[in-house]
Amino acid sequence: MTALYAYDAWYPLAWSRDIGRNLAQRRVLEQDLVVYRTQQGQVAALEDVCPHRLAPLSLGTLKDDTVECGYHGLRFDCEGQCVAAPGMARAPTGAAVRSYPTAESMGMVWVWMGDAAKADRNEVFHLPAYDDPDYSVVEGDALPVQANYLNLADNLCDPTHVVYVHKTTLASTGREETRVMHERQGNKVVTWRWVIDGPLIPVFQGLKDFGGANVDRWHYYHYHAPSIAVIDFGSARTGTGAPEGNREDCIQMYACHFITPVDQRSCVQHWLCLKNSPADAAVDERLRANLRLAFNEDKTVLEAIQRNEDKPRDWKRIHLSLDASSIKMRRIVDEMAAGNAH
């Protein structure tokens, strides 16, 4: 019997920039959380319900590092312990809400939804390029998608949809029928494709001047189960040896997708982009707009699929060779949910 979710994992919760000295409400794996930053700057995440009358604690007030319920004033500390109750000399024994371990990395707050004893902050996801001065960060959105997060995960393991879904943003004209490779590496699936000697795709235009020459383009889709995708994609002038590993004079981007599974029918896609060129307000805004457009193209398809999946029908499906990565990825999530991974 597999659990509904892989609980023992670090999940993206919110952009760090959105969590401060006020009470924020987030929903992860069907759990409502109240999230805030302590006076020392740590992030606290508590179950968002007062055990007295079930009022959401996020409707209450942050007092020092405690949350005061907005209905009767019960107060809970960062560990979820009730430290004050109205009309009582001391808080009732056993009164507490669940507290969740948190961490911060890559501008993101992460939360551990499973057994707190297993939470190891050294395992929180971090990409070295995020701290590399040769790279600049373009922070994106928190895009709500009314679809199961694994359907979004499928999409982020799959280079073949680009030419059909992203005609005007991420796709080049033609040349997409090159072979897709993939490989499981631990709890990660890597899927990749090279397009040799093709034109620059729209989203790269203006980032580097190749003098109109054709380029070799790579896409490496790294899917870290259960909910992180990093797409390493870039281009170098054809003939300079990029496929053999020489990326000396290239455009490179990491499109990072940090997915918060909300419930079985919705998720939040937090995305950011790292690029090996300096920050530039105009260029970055154009890139952000392009990516926003592309990810909304996916959202349209994924939400329509979800509506079909929700219909009480006995769908017959066919499988294609391009599904191989997705199948491996879902198997890892199943293993993690069954508690036999790692």
In the complex, the residues that contact a copy of itself under the rule CB under 8 A are 32, 49, 51-56, 59-60, 68-73, 82, 85-88, 92, 94-95, 154, 160-161, 163-165, 177, 180, 300-301, 304-305, 308-309, 315-322
Supply the minimum distance, in Å, between the C-beta of residue 56 and a copy of itself.
5
Q: How far apart are CA 45 and CA 39, in angstroms?
A: 14
Given the complex with a copy of itself, which of 86 and 278 has the nearer CB atom? 86
Q: Which residues pair with 62 in a beta bridge?
A: 67
Given the complex with a copy of itself, which of 134 and 177 has the nearer CB atom? 177
Q: For residues 42 and 100, is the Cβ–Cβ distance under 8 A?
A: no
Q: Is 308 helix (H, G, I), strand (E, B) or coil?
A: helix
Given the complex with a copy of itself, which of 86 and 241 has the nearer CB atom? 86
Given the complex with a copy of itself, which of 187 and 326 has the nearer CB atom? 326
Supply the minimum distance, in Å, between the C-beta of residue 309 and a copy of itself.
6
Given the complex with a copy of itself, which of 158 and 284 has the nearer CB atom? 158
Pick from 98, 108, 119, 122: which is nearest to 7 by CA? 119
* DSSP notation for 115-181: -GGG--GGGS---GGGG-TT-EEEEEEEEEESS-HHHHHHHTT-GGGHHHH-TTTT--SS---SPEE
Supply the minimum distance, in Å, between the C-beta of residue 209 and a copy of itself.
32
Pick from 1, 2, 9: which is nearest to 342 by CA? 9
Residues 6+ apart with CB under 8 A from 311: none
Q: Which residues pair with 110 in a beta bridge?
A: 12, 103
Amino acid code (one letter) for 262: V
Q: For residues 24 and 14, is the Cβ–Cβ distance under 8 A?
A: yes
Given the complex with a copy of itself, which of 117 and 318 has the nearer CB atom? 318
Given the complex with a copy of itself, which of 26 and 208 has the nearer CB atom? 26
Supply the minimum distance, in Å, between the C-beta of residue 86 and a copy of itself.
5
Given the complex with a copy of itself, which of 88 and 279 has the nearer CB atom? 88
Supply the minimum distance, in Å, between the C-beta of residue 123 and a copy of itself.
29
Supply the minimum distance, in Å, between the C-beta of residue 247 and a copy of itself.
27
- Report angle CA 36, 114, 333 to the nearest 5 degrees: 115
Q: Which DSSP category does 96 fall into?
A: B
Strands 43-47, 31-37: pairing kind: antiparallel
Amino acid code (one letter) for 267: C
